[in-house]
Amino acid sequence: MRVLSYNIHKGFNLGNRSVVLTAIRDAIHAVDADLVLLQEVVGENSRHTRNRRDWIPMAQSEYLADEIRQHHAYGENVRYLHGHHGNAILSRYPLVSNNNYNVSIGVFSKRGILHVETEKGVHLLCVHFGLLAWERRHQGRALLKCLDQIAFDAPVIVAGDFNDWRSRTHQIMLNCGLHEALHEIHGRPPRTYPVHYPLFRMDRIYYRNLELITARRLDGPVWKRLADHCPLYAEFKS
């Protein structure tokens, strides 16, 4: 079972000069992951539809889904006058449940946790935490409450952009019985941001009740032309 986690930066490249959504779709397709957890996915943006020739007007989760990962879910996190964006999950397997949890703190930081279960019984939680430490503490507690609602022996993957460069949330995740895929393989979480010269350990793939085969950061020339984060890849025994 192959898993990809990727902050797609709303389909723009680093610096927001170009829309690279088609290239992102091609790169995801080339990885051939069974499960794809995405952050900063645009559901609608009427301003870009009017003003940008390179903008693709359909919902990005639908555009990125294909004949292999045709099952998909979108969780709106942020709404504005001209549209909205959030998290999305693409799956090779049918989805039997879909919930989007609002973990926003007032009007300051609009964030959510998208939780789906596949027909294979795997629970997927796609997260994008806030930039400030006190936000992440609140959102980490909310994530633990979500995990408490899942049977402790069920297979679980929690992935996304944790903005956790100080690894404080990381320790909380480890303390509650989760493992981080790249930490298990390489001894520490990966540096994933910015994509051209990764300095900050922002992104994670956590799991429990699964057998990890391999995990790595994807950082080749193809990815450097795309969004501002490096994606993460992990493979588990099915």
Domains annotated on the chain, with CATH: 2-236 (3.60.10.10)
Distance, in Å, from the CA atom of 234 to the CA atom of 163, rounded to the nearest integer, reads 19
| Residue 131 CB coordination number (10 Å) | 8
CA angle 24, 87, 26 (to 5 degrees): 15
Tokens 């610096």 label which residue?
A: 15
pLDDT at residue number 66: 85
Instruction: List CB contacts of 67: < 8 A, sequence separation 6 or more.
Output: none
The CA distance from 232 to 138, in Å, is 25
The token pair at 153 is 């022996």
Residue 226 is predicted with a pLDDT of 98
What is the reported pLDDT for 108? 67
Does the model's pTM come out above 0.85? yes
Is residue 175 within 8 A of residue 206, CB to CB? The reply is no
- In degrees to the nearest 10, what's the CA dihedral of 218, 220, 221, 224? 40
Mean pLDDT by 10 residues, the chain (238 residues): 99 94 97 98 96 95 92 96 97 98 82 97 98 90 95 98 93 93 96 97 98 98 97 96
